[in-house]
Amino acid sequence: MRRSQLGSIGLGALLLTSLLTGCSSDSMNGSSGTGRVRMVMGGPTQAALSGSSSSTTLSDGTGRTLESAEITVTGIVARNLDGQLVDVSMDLPATVDLVALIQGRTFELPSGSLPVGSYDQLVVVIGSLHVTLSDGTVIDVDPPGGGWTAIVRTDPFDVVDGEVTTVNLHFRAERAFNWIEGHLEFDPEFDCDHDHDHNGDDEHDD
């Protein structure tokens, strides 16, 4: 597998100002080396479900909905408790349909790894967005320089040699798509929760 390169996406200034806390994967016992990281993308958590029913309807007054919204995930970054930003090593890019997540499906990113240690923040880097609307309109939304970056709140979690840390990333759709002055704007956000996977054999839809 190749290691996705943080240096090519220009995140330093944004991430140095981010001191967020919130959700987690699990703590595990371990020592040195690297540990496996399993990242599963899904739809909104229970706390976000109230806004999800209309989250695929555009705010342009036409009633059009999103039939698909495919993103390209180009990197995942974790921050350790020393404040260092560490690229999660995994085989990227990966294409994920956000509408499928909203509708209840899940998507497991390629198996990744991190150096053993504790981490308190994740960043999802998205390089492209390709949208198909209910009337057949196709829209490619141009990302900002370096792509979109979604900073994900995390409680400290441990990555342990020989174990698997599972992180569930829940896409928040209610404010992600906005029709502004004739253009579709994209503002990705994710929540996360935790799971402990001893053998990595849990099954998920893709």
pLDDT tens digits along 82-93: 999 999 999 999
Higher pLDDT, 72 or 55: 72
Q: Is 51 among the domain residues?
A: no
Please state which of the ranges 4-8, 107-111, 123-127 shows the lowest mean pLDDT. Answer: 4-8
Name the band, by pLDDT with cuts 50, 70 and 90, for residue 146: confident
Q: Is 199 among the domain residues?
A: no
Name the band, by pLDDT with cuts 50, 70 and 90, for residue 197: low
Give me the domain span that covers residue 181: 6-45+57-194
Give the pLDDT confidence score for residue 20 in this predicted structure: 35
Name the band, by pLDDT with cuts 50, 70 and 90, for residue 59: confident
Q: Is 126 among the domain residues?
A: yes
Q: Is 31 among the domain residues?
A: yes
> For residues 146 and 92, what is the distance between their CA atoms, to the nearest angstrom?
15
Strand bridging mode 94-97 / 66-80: antiparallel
Q: Is 170 among the domain residues?
A: yes
Q: How far is CA 84 from the centre of its chain?
A: 19
Q: Is 202 among the domain residues?
A: no
Q: Is 95 among the domain residues?
A: yes
- For the ranges 10-14, 57-61, 131-135, 201-205, the maximum mean pLDDT occurs at 131-135
Higher pLDDT, 13 or 53: 53
Name the band, by pLDDT with cuts 50, 70 and 90, for residue 5: very low
pTM of the model: 0.79
Tokens of 181: 């002055």
Average pLDDT of every residue of the chain: 81
Give the pLDDT confidence score for residue 201 in this predicted structure: 45
Average pLDDT value for residue range 106-125: 96
Q: Is 204 among the domain residues?
A: no
Give the pLDDT confidence score for residue 61 in this predicted structure: 86
Helix, strand and coil percent figures for the chain, each rounded to 5: 10, 45, 45
- Portion of the chain with pLDDT greater than 70, in percent: 74
Give the pLDDT confidence score for residue 69 in this predicted structure: 97
Average pLDDT value for residue range 188-203: 65
**For the chain, what is the domain count?**
1
